[in-house]
Structure 1
Amino acid sequence: MTLKTFSSREFNQFVSDAKRAANEGPVLITDRGEPAYALLSIKDYYKLAGNQLSLADALAQRDDDADFDFDAPTLDVTFKAADLP
């Protein structure tokens, strides 16, 4: 995997070259000489992101579809009556 660097100006002028370079590996886009952005092919992005289940998706699963076990902790709380004036 190769790492190619484009300045912001080069990236704006040569977008097609940057996209082709992203097929070979990550492309860093610099702003004032400092890395500011990374361009990845969608294949590399999916590999990096993995198949992680978001919290929202996990909470939205029905019990029979869940692929993980979760036992909520129980709270041992004692309530007392409030003293109202």
Structure 2
Amino acid sequence: MITDRGRPSHVLLTVEDWRALTGARTGLAQALRMRPDAEDVEFHPPRAPLAEREVDL
């Protein structure tokens, strides 16, 4: 515990402890990067349809 003028002000935690306390979840990209066989995973998401429109400049 870190104090400021004798009052508790900060706590130093490991990232793992902070995630456990805050309920932080791992995202898909991060989870795939952690896999040793990540290069072997094929992922080809469909393209999102985008509507074109004219812009008046």
TM-score bracket, shorter-length normalisation: 0.3 to 0.5
More contact order relative to length (CA 8 Å, sep ≥ 6): 1
Task: State the TM-score, normalizing by the size of structure 2.
Answer: 0.39
Which protein has the larger Cα radius of gyration, Structure 1 or Structure 2? 1
